[in-house]
Structure 1
Amino acid sequence: MESQNHFYGHSAAFAVYAGRPRPRHIHGLVQHGWTAVSPVQTHFRDFPKVGLDAGSRRRLLVWSHESRAWDPREERHTTTPVGAQFAYLARAAGPTPKPRDERDEVVLMPVHGIQTQRVRGDHAGLARLWREQEGPATACLYAADAADPDILGAYTGAGHRVVVLGERMDAEFLWRLWTMLGRARRVVSNRLSTPVLYGGHLGADLGVYGDALRIDGESDAMNQRVRQTWPELHGQHLDPATAGPVVDRELGVQHLLPPGELERLLGWRGLGPAIPATEFWTTSVVSRAVINLRRRADAPAAPPAATEEAPTGLAFGPWLRAAMSYLPRPLPRTLPAAGQLVEPIEVRPAAWAG
């Protein structure tokens, strides 16, 4: 019913696990990344009526009911745990690929911004620290960050290979991530985040250290809470025996379903997808337009430079690009096979335009 269900190839991962040739529209909303607070209050906050009726087919599907981030019993909304989309793709894919060279063995996943919120701080210092501690590595940037010359230059200047996984509506996004993390001996980030959990699930050594940087509109209180809530998932070298079970609980591995039951909860049987497909092309467009207008009014402003006056709100250009990314588009008619290697997109500073 909503474009966020298809972010990062998530519906595509469900499809290949279920043996389907293409994704379908989903009855309800699906969590689309790890969150350090309740997904009801983050990923689903724009649709407050979904999940209030426990008997409705329009469900809120979350990764885990055993995450430390939240207690589902404290929510007014009914949620159903199904596990992370990446875990389904990994289960369907089978053995992970082998590294091709030294830089495949260490993957850097710095915290990313989005079109409407930039990551600020000493990117070059972080890239140099990781070069000193990890050696030459593959730095995976979010597309919006790779389009920023300062961020891109920080990593290429430190001697890292820079790749992106595509835009968030790219159905092959998760395949590229599986290919990259599957080759990695070690996955490193400056914050506990979704790809860190994915790397741990695939068996990589983990490191979460370095300058956490700052995203527009956030305070350090949340970062401190994350460090206090998941202390064993922070540090330069994490203990696999301790981190592994925590990672899998956060991803909801214990909730993974057989294909038939997953299809039932997604509403993929019979004519089930027809209703959310109709909504996707009609009412969801209007709903999303209203949401985006409200978000622009409420958006956190970037901090002014010393010589600037305080900004009054989010600039129109970034807001429009972000709003356009939610517009409905046809779902892919074909998908890569489970276990098929789809290479991340290498970024060269002179050629990359985002």
Structure 2
Amino acid sequence: MHHANHYYGHSHVLARYCGLDPAEVHEIRGYLQHGWNIGDGMAPDHEFTPGIPLFVWSEPTRRRAWSLGRRPVHVIGAPWAYLLAMDPITDTGPREGTIYYPFHGWEGQHVVGDHDGLIEEIRATEDGPVTVCLYWQEYRSPRLRRRYERAGFRVVCHGYRGGWYRDLDPRFLARQLAEQRRHRRVASNRLCSAIFYGILAGCEPAVYGDPMRLEGERSSFGGQTRVERQWAALHGPRIDPEVARPIAVAELGADRLLSPAELRHLFHWPDPGARVSTPEGVAR
């Protein structure tokens, strides 16, 4: 129903898991969480129709949404976790370097911060090659891109998230997963979806550097102060992967994945029947 359900190819990943054509746009009867946050899982700029279900990633998010009066709310797990269930790690070859995700803006707000200071901190912290992944908005700024390139970093962009049913990218998460599996570490200046994704993808996590801010940023649900306090174990240039992994599993709901039949029922999607095979490694 909502165009944000298709951000980053999320609905396409879930369609593939459900045995439907991932190249097509499959409407979801409800609102799908499209990024990790410390509130009810939904973007603050979205307007909601009462009674339409929310599909959130984790049980902690469901409890927060419930406390805010959201009804009904279903825990389904993050699309990233479904992607990993379909495409588990098989290549155990060597990984190299760090992929770093600077905090990014969005179409309605730009980031304010010291990129040069962040670059110096990355160079002082990382002991291998660095790939900097910029959000499409920052990536389209040649001046900003060159600042990271001049520092000797490889600069990439996973793609455009899509919006209002235009420029949809079913392969966004697949490209992100391929990049992360090339790297030994995943890092950012804020705890974010990409850090949790990297932990599940087998990277050593790190969160350090100027957290920057959005123009006109409001500290909803406790803001950055709460994030640093509640998830203190996930902040710092060196984080124990054994400590980080169970936290990532819980925040992404990787232990709460539904079967294809259950997802199809919740989303009001058709049963592909015998005409479409179940994704490899996934029980119907």
SS at match of 2:238: coil
The structure 1 segments of at least 4 consecutive aligned residues displaced by more than 3 Å after TM superposition are 96-102
Partner of 2:183: 184
Partner of 1:14: 14
What is the CA-CA distance between 1:165 and the residue it aligns to?
Answer: 1.1
Task: Indicate yes or no: 2:140 matched with 1:147.
Answer: yes
Of 13, 32, 35, the match for 1:33: 35
Q: Which runs of 5+ in 2 are unaligned?
A: 163-168, 273-278
Matches within 5 A, 1:113-132: 113-132=105-124
What is the CA-CA distance between 1:97 and the residue it aligns to?
Answer: 5.1
Distance 2:142 2:93 in 1: 28
* Contact 2:33 2:57 survives alignment (8 Å): yes
Partner of 2:166: none
* 211 and 97 in structure 1: CA distance in 2 versus 1, 3 angstrom threshold: farther
Matches within 5 A, 1:158-173: 158-169=151-162, 170-173=169-172
What is the CA-CA distance between 1:154 and the residue it aligns to?
Answer: 2.2
* Contact 1:29 1:44 survives alignment (8 Å): no
Worse-matched range after superposition: 2-11 or 212-221: 212-221
Deviations 1:60-84 (A, max 9, x none): 10101135x9624413222100000
Matches within 5 A, 1:203-214: 203-214=202-213
Query: Identical aligned pairs, as a percentage?
Result: 37
What is the CA-CA distance between 1:48 and the residue it aligns to?
Answer: 4.0
SS at match of 1:238: coil
* 44 and 20 in structure 1: CA distance in 2 versus 1, 3 angstrom threshold: farther
* 233 and 338 in structure 1: CA distance in 2 versus 1, 3 angstrom threshold: farther
What is the CA-CA distance between 1:200 and the residue it aligns to?
Answer: 0.7
SS at match of 1:21: coil
What is the alpha-carbon root mean square deviation over aligned residues? 2.4
What is the CA-CA distance between 1:128 and the residue it aligns to?
Answer: 2.4
Q: Which runs of 5+ in 1 are unaligned?
A: 53-57, 272-336, 340-354
* Contact 1:37 1:70 survives alignment (8 Å): no
Distance 2:90 2:148 in 1: 26
Distance 2:247 2:83 in 1: 20
Partner of 1:330: none
Partner of 1:331: none
* Contact 2:39 2:64 survives alignment (8 Å): no
* 237 and 70 in structure 1: CA distance in 2 versus 1, 3 angstrom threshold: farther
* Contact 2:111 2:213 survives alignment (8 Å): yes
What is the CA-CA distance between 1:43 and the residue it aligns to?
Answer: 5.6
Of 55, 65, 85, the match for 1:61: 55
What is the CA-CA distance between 1:37 and the residue it aligns to?
Answer: 1.6
Distance 1:114 1:208 in 2: 21
Partner of 2:250: 249
Q: How many residues align?
A: 263
Partner of 1:2: 2
The structure that has the greater radius of gyration is 1
Distance 1:128 1:156 in 2: 13
* 87 and 236 in structure 1: CA distance in 2 versus 1, 3 angstrom threshold: same
